[in-house]
Structure 1
Amino acid sequence: MPIVESSTVVPVDPATAFAVSQTTGPTRLRWDPFIRRQHFLDGAAAPDKGVRTFTKHSSGMTMVSEYVSYAPPSNVGMKMVTGPWFFTSMAGGWRFKATEGGTLATWKYNFSCRPAWLAPLAERIGAWVLQREIDRRIAGFARGCADPQVLADVRPTT
């Protein structure tokens, strides 16, 4: 099962980095180049373990995923419930750890492809494509963690 991972250090504390990673709506679209649209399902109003989300990728592909862990401000994990036909499975986790100068954000995904006879080639290609996507996405996340509007949207008002 291929695994792709990308990390960056952002100049905010883990709680703020985690909050940025969980933004929705226009705030999310300011920093996340991966999605075109995303919303919670089943009447959920906020992320939590067991909550499902619908995501439309910038290419038009769609996926329903479910939070399998939700532990602010340190980590969040998800798994695909339904998605593109070529994925047998897909899951990911985002971790946030305090470091000198801010927070180390590490995003890791694993997946498997079908059909089985094509999986060895499809997974090599998929790992290359997904690595590029995740690198672009975490770079967008880093920009979001430096964007005054995104930060204003996630920080409590006093």
Structure 2
Amino acid sequence: MPVVESRCVVPVEVAVAFAVSQTQGAIRKRWDPFIRRQHLVGGATVPGKGVRTWTVQRFGFAMESEYVSYNPPSNVGMKMTKGSWFFERMGGGWRFSPAEGQPGHTLAVWRYNFTCRPRWLAPLAERIGVLVLQRDIDRRIAGFARGCSDPVVLAHVAGTPAA
């Protein structure tokens, strides 16, 4: 199963980094270049284990995913429940921990795994998928890092209006 990973250190505490990663709506779109639209499914109003999300990616591909773990402020895990025809399986996890030797900073490590279909095409499709998803996860975590420095995003997660 192919795996892609990206990591960065952000200048906020772990709880703040986690909160930024779980923002929704317009605040999420300020930092997340991957998302065109995203919402929680089934009447849920906050993320949590078992909660599903519907995401439309910037090129229009849509996917429903479910939180398989939700452990603030350290990690979340997701798996695709419905999605594009070419993914047989897709999952991911985002981990947040204190950055070693950098007080007040957080190491964010995001990892995705997937398999493609049809099986006969999977060896080629998965090599291409690694390249495409690596670029996307790198862009996404860079956006997350910008969000962790964005006063509007930080004010939102702190519950205060931005100056």
- The interval holding the TM-score normalised by the smaller chain is over 0.9
Q: Structure 1-normalised TM-score?
A: 0.98
How much does 1:5 deviate?
A: 0.1
How many matched pairs? 157
Distance 2:159 2:55 in 1: 27
Deviations 1:10-63 (A, max 9, x none): 000000000000000000000000000000000000000000000000000000
Q: Secondary structure at the match of 2:114?
A: strand
Distance 1:98 1:127 in 2: 28
| Aligned residue in 1 for 2:135 | 132
Which runs of no fewer than 5 residues in structure 1 stay unpaired?
A: none
| Aligned residue in 2 for 1:20 | 20
Q: Structure 2-normalised TM-score?
A: 0.95
Are positions 1:116 and 2:119 aligned together?
A: yes
Give the aligned CA root-mean-square deviation in angstroms: 0.6
Q: Secondary structure at the match of 1:60?
A: coil
Identity fraction in percent: 69
Are positions 1:58 and 2:58 aligned together?
A: yes
Distance 1:156 1:98 in 2: 23
Are positions 1:74 and 2:61 aligned together?
A: no
What is the correspondence of 1:71-110 to structure 2 with a 5 Å cutoff? 71-99=71-99, 100-101=102-103, 102-110=105-113
User: Larger deviation: 99-108 or 77-86?
Assistant: 99-108
Which runs of no fewer than 5 residues in structure 2 stay unpaired?
A: none
Distance 2:158 2:15 in 1: 10
